[in-house]
Structure 1
Amino acid sequence: MSRLPVIVGFGGYNAAGRSSAHHGFRRTVIESMSATDRQETLASLAILMKLVTFSAGQYHDHDGQPLDLAALEQRFGAQILASTLVRRIEKNHLDVDAAPWQKNLTVTGPAGKPLSFITLRKQLPEPLPSDWTVEALNDNDVQVTLYDGCDIKVDSYRNLPVKSAGQLPTGFEPGELYASRFHPRGLQMTIVAATDALRSIGLPWQTIVDQVAPDEIAVYASSAMSQLDENSFGGLMQSRLKGGRVTAKQLALGLNSMPADFINAYVLGSVGSTSSITGACASFLYNLQKATDMISAGKARVVIVGNSEAPITQECLDGYGAMGALATEDGLRQIQSQEPGAQEQVDFRRASRPFGQNCGFTLAESSQFLVLMDDELALQLGADIHGAVPDVFINADGFKKSISAPGPGNYLCMAKAVASAMQLVGEDGVRLRSFVHAHGSSTPANRVTESELLDRVAASFGIADWPVAAVKSYVGHSLASASADQLISALGSFKYQLIPGIKTIDAVADDVHRQHLRISQVDVPRTEQPLEVCFINSKGFGGNNASGVVLAPQVVERMLRKRYGAERFAAYEAQREQTRAAAQAYEQQALQGQLEIIYNFGHDLIDDQGIAINGEQIQVPGFNQPLVFDKTSRFADMLD
């Protein structure tokens, strides 16, 4: 009997803000939220952005004036909305109007005469070029004469063609929330996002640890682009060219496995299974497949799975821009000029345009994590269940002409996902109560190929009017974290029975296939046929295709009632109320700015000498349950 991987916690941060309690989802559909939900989400963002403080049971502006939620919205609402989601790149990342670079310059003396200059002796290159002569002026200074001239590099600045990105809310700096000395931005985001996911569970982490063996906890997380800022690979690669030195931390902290390593070492203190799988832009689903397989097979009972990506760097913009993959200022201006009431000023908030007239995708930063448990442990602990992930399918493209072009593998994984869901919820469950969170990268190629894929799959399974959402229209493309952004948005749709519209497009492009699809530009509430299944679709450079099946909590509850019986499920529901109350307590603290970041640097180190080993088990200090050796003979038929 397979164990069902259920989602008991989720959290993180992206351009929409904090993910726990569905705040990130609410920001994307804020026009469709109730006044209370809207104002609470604005307050959550105001705290992150340091626009307000909270004390004595009240929000205050920086002048100390008290603000209730309505006043906070009136005072800061427009500013908050303008400073979240996709927008013009802000200078805390880089100045896109004056990005630094080095210009090659050839210098020679006047009319072919030698060129002389004075410099410090210690600044002379080693060895000296053959056409240089050096004359000492004093103990420190020398005069250099060049007979053939030389090439030098001079600091310069240039205007970047790409000017938009999905950035964390303006003013929110994750590294300020804990002792983040020398941590790359992607790892700062990992620490605060993993904390958010763990706090959202509503159960103390130690309570969970005490119920499972040390090797029944797992962490699967990665970053597709590794860490690329000055504290990691960026600084490592640039240091000698800038005349600096490599630090002891830059290489190690740059590795793409560091999100998982940081969670194990500084958040959980886990000794369980760990892995960092990358599949380009489908990396989250690759890690999620590993998580669901381990839980279903009984090899893990609790898994933290997610990704962290911080790619808003000049190098990433240059690299993806050179491929013609990113939406440029000129490209957006050309699209805008063809729209009714066009303005000369480019609207960077609408840079990401899935399934509409578009010119490339929009890079984004995001860190998102899920906490999964097997269904039995969730019932035992009274965990709140936000959904389940029974299957994730992955397929390659076969032979390829272009490594970045889409291919046939997505047909395989998406069709398998739909077939799998029909086995769980029935044909009507899929045909009437499912929707798709498309990859929706906002490139001209994707809008054609992915829409054709989805349209053909829908036709093959008798789906007449398949709703399609595309969260990248709000938060941009966060590469490894992109499908995590999609899944967490899907949980919001289950909670509020609302499918986000693609509001950054004026119309669906003429070349989009949609005979069996419904692509809306407004939020679509589900008053009838409540949503039960979401298909998360993802494509990545190199032929990395993945599609996941996510079940709504009401579907999971039906399944659990059938597996465990009405009496046990009723007892679980009673126990779950305490968990929900604890999760709500964290939510109230977070709304007040008390995020309680978990960062255990150098705490509770395990003494190797304290590990007790015998022929039956290992007892690890700090863990309540022993690690019992599995003595099941898997190959009994092959042994004497």
Structure 2
Amino acid sequence: MGVVAPNGNNIIDFWDNVVNGRSAAAPIVRFNAEHFKTRFASQISNFDPTLHLERNDIKRGDLYTQYALVAAGQAIADSGFDLSSMSPFDVGVIFGSAQGGMETFEQQLREYDATDHAPHFNPFFIPKTLINMASGLISIKYGFMGVNFTTVTACASSNTAIMEALNYIRFGKAKVIITGGSDAPVTEASIGGYNALKALSTRNDDPTAASRPFDVDRDGFVMGEGAGVLVLEEYEHARARGAKIYAEVAGAAMTSDAYHITATHPEGLGAIHAMKSALHDAGLNKEDIGFLNAHATSTPVGDLSEAKGIHAVYGDSKHLFVSASKSITGHLLGAAGAIEAIIAVKTITDGVIPPTINTHTIDPNIPAGLQIVTGDALEHPVNAAMSNTFGFGGHNGVVVLKKI
């Protein structure tokens, strides 16, 4: 596994900050946000690509691609597999992103406008903005010649990528797949656009307390950025080389709400079917799931519909603990699923469930039977975990992981 996130640029720091509920939300420093309704975000700090990437990787890659390459480098090193002992056609990359090179796109249009519309575009303009370029550059950098494509399902993009990676390995079309997602949406157009949708919190006086999933006073999500990468490998292949195995991707499923371009189904119908289908795909019962990382972005509509859906599937389960890690990390859009899959894996390996921070008074409309972990982290064994992601356009992606 590998991670570049607002809460840490490696797995150790990231997990420590998540378990201890340390929010990374702070005033925006990447541009002047003085006139924006939302003037804060969860931004990555202390990121120096020159410490990790070659000059050409930086030159031809947007920030979202740089995040992806660094996280992929961590994950590949952590996996310990040696490409020289394998066919390069047995290793693929399936990667997610919601927005791709948004920063490059904005920068180039500003420069175009500043030069009286003289068309002096950077030769890397098009490649840097393409949403598939993170997967392409990971493949190029490491020589992986197997399946290679990008999934785009808004905020469900990296869960979609994980599901596709799982299935390609199941179908015998790959031995190893690098998967996950990346986005760098702390830009003027992204913040301004999400403000126009009234999707972001405007709690400018207290950014670290702004993301409060399930709380009665929630007012929108906190924008985040980064990348999460997981190396998926066929089990017998991993065993044969003595790989370190954290967990099994046991099952996954996708559905569509077919309801609205941005809002989730009010009763969570698509989410309910996705959760049930993912359980079925994993060959597990609802009683087997000890932890559920909710999509819960801290929006009034989305949190409520998801809570209804979780309760419809699990009822007043005493086995299930629910947490919303976006309260800590912010919402990393296309990277959210990968980041949260890593969190789910860590709950299994460490037996610690991170808290939902800033949630002080649970919305009375949230089903009372849900055991939402608030306050401090909970030490509790987890044998199997579910991770939910839902995206604009009605995309529902659910991944189930379990202990080996």
The yes-or-no answer on 1:409 pairing with 2:270 is: yes
* Contact map agreement 2:356 2:372 (CA 8 A) in 1: no
Matches within 5 A, 1:337-416: 346-356=205-215, 357-398=217-258, 400=259, 402-407=260-265, 408-416=269-277
Is there any run of 5+ residues in structure 2 with no aligned partner, and where?
none
Q: Which residue number in structure 2 is paired with residue 588 of structure 1?
A: none
Choose the corresponding residue for 2:330, options 473, 476, 480. Answer: 476
Q: Which residue number in structure 2 is paired with residue 234 of structure 1?
A: 106
Q: Cα distance 1:464–1:258, how it changes in 2: closer, same or farther (>3 A)? A: same
Matches within 5 A, 1:223-622: 223-229=97-103, 232-243=104-115, 245-266=120-141, 268-328=142-202, 332=203, 346-356=205-215, 357-398=217-258, 400=259, 402-407=260-265, 408-421=269-282, 423-424=283-284, 427=285, 430-431=286-287, 434-459=290-315, 463-464=317-318, 466-526=320-380, 530-552=381-403, 556=404
Measure, in 2, the Cα distance between the counterparts of 1:409 and 1:433: 20
Larger Rg: 1
Choose the corresponding residue for 1:25, options 15, 36, 44. Answer: 15
Q: Which residue number in structure 2 is paired with residue 619 of structure 1?
A: none
Is there any run of 5+ residues in structure 1 with no aligned partner, and where?
1-9, 32-80, 98-158, 334-345, 557-640
Measure, in 2, the Cα distance between the counterparts of 1:303 and 1:534: 21
Aligned partner of residue 241 in structure 1, secondary structure: helix
The Cα of 1:359 is off from its aligned counterpart by 0.6
Work out the number of aligned pairs and report it.
394
Choose the corresponding residue for 1:220, options 94, 112, 119. Answer: 94
* Contact map agreement 1:175 1:188 (CA 8 A) in 2: no
The Cα of 1:234 is off from its aligned counterpart by 1.9
Q: Cα distance 1:173–1:504, how it changes in 2: closer, same or farther (>3 A)? A: farther
* Contact map agreement 1:352 1:442 (CA 8 A) in 2: yes
Q: Which residue number in structure 2 is paired with residue 340 of structure 1?
A: none
Deviation string 1:568-618 (CA, Å, 9 cap, x unpaired) is xxxxxxxxxxxxxxxxxxxxxxxxxxxxxxxxxxxxxxxxxxxxxxxxxxx
Measure, in 1, the Cα distance between the counterparts of 2:121 and 2:164: 35
Measure, in 1, the Cα distance between the counterparts of 2:71 and 2:372: 33
* Contact map agreement 2:159 2:399 (CA 8 A) in 1: yes
* Contact map agreement 1:395 1:409 (CA 8 A) in 2: yes
Deviation string 1:96-148 (CA, Å, 9 cap, x unpaired) is 22xxxxxxxxxxxxxxxxxxxxxxxxxxxxxxxxxxxxxxxxxxxxxxxxxxx
Measure, in 2, the Cα distance between the counterparts of 1:405 and 1:518: 23
The one-letter code of the counterpart of 1:194 is A
Aligned partner of residue 17 in structure 1, secondary structure: coil
* Contact map agreement 1:87 1:167 (CA 8 A) in 2: yes
The yes-or-no answer on 1:185 pairing with 2:44 is: no
The Cα of 1:220 is off from its aligned counterpart by 0.6
The Cα of 1:176 is off from its aligned counterpart by 5.0
* Contact map agreement 2:323 2:372 (CA 8 A) in 1: no
The Cα of 1:236 is off from its aligned counterpart by 3.5
Deviation string 1:319-338 (CA, Å, 9 cap, x unpaired) is 1110100111xxx27xxxxx
Aligned partner of residue 376 in structure 2, secondary structure: coil
Q: Which residue number in structure 1 is paired with residue 82 of structure 2?
A: 205
* Contact map agreement 1:88 1:349 (CA 8 A) in 2: no
- Identical aligned pairs, as a percentage? 25
* Contact map agreement 1:164 1:351 (CA 8 A) in 2: no
Q: Which residue number in structure 2 is paired with residue 14 of structure 1?
A: 5
* Contact map agreement 1:470 1:486 (CA 8 A) in 2: no
Measure, in 1, the Cα distance between the counterparts of 2:132 and 2:289: 37
The yes-or-no answer on 1:164 pairing with 2:40 is: yes
* Contact map agreement 1:350 1:504 (CA 8 A) in 2: yes
Q: Cα distance 1:516–1:350, how it changes in 2: closer, same or farther (>3 A)? A: closer
The Cα of 1:416 is off from its aligned counterpart by 1.6
Q: Cα distance 1:519–1:512, how it changes in 2: closer, same or farther (>3 A)? A: farther
Aligned partner of residue 59 in structure 2, secondary structure: coil
* Contact map agreement 1:309 1:480 (CA 8 A) in 2: yes
Aligned partner of residue 328 in structure 2, secondary structure: helix
The Cα of 1:432 is off from its aligned counterpart by 6.1
> RMSD of aligned C-alpha atoms?
1.9
Q: Cα distance 1:315–1:390, how it changes in 2: closer, same or farther (>3 A)? A: same
The Cα of 1:204 is off from its aligned counterpart by 4.9
Deviation string 1:63-112 (CA, Å, 9 cap, x unpaired) is xxxxxxxxxxxxxxxxxx7xx622222x2x11222xxxxxxxxxxxxxxx
Deviation string 1:44-76 (CA, Å, 9 cap, x unpaired) is xxxxxxxxxxxxxxxxxxxxxxxxxxxxxxxxx
Measure, in 1, the Cα distance between the counterparts of 2:108 and 2:98: 18
Matches within 5 A, 1:139-178: 159-169=35-45, 171-178=46-53
The Cα of 1:433 is off from its aligned counterpart by 5.3
The one-letter code of the counterpart of 1:534 is A
Q: Which residue number in structure 1 is paired with residue 31 of structure 2?
A: 94
Aligned partner of residue 3 in structure 2, secondary structure: strand
TM normalised by structure 1 equals 0.59
Measure, in 2, the Cα distance between the counterparts of 1:380 and 1:263: 25
Measure, in 1, the Cα distance between the counterparts of 2:122 and 2:238: 44
Aligned partner of residue 385 in structure 1, secondary structure: coil
Deviation string 1:368-405 (CA, Å, 9 cap, x unpaired) is 1100110111111000100011211000113x3x3101
TM normalised by structure 2 equals 0.92
The Cα of 1:276 is off from its aligned counterpart by 0.5
* Contact map agreement 2:9 2:47 (CA 8 A) in 1: no
Q: Cα distance 1:366–1:273, how it changes in 2: closer, same or farther (>3 A)? A: same
The Cα of 1:420 is off from its aligned counterpart by 4.0
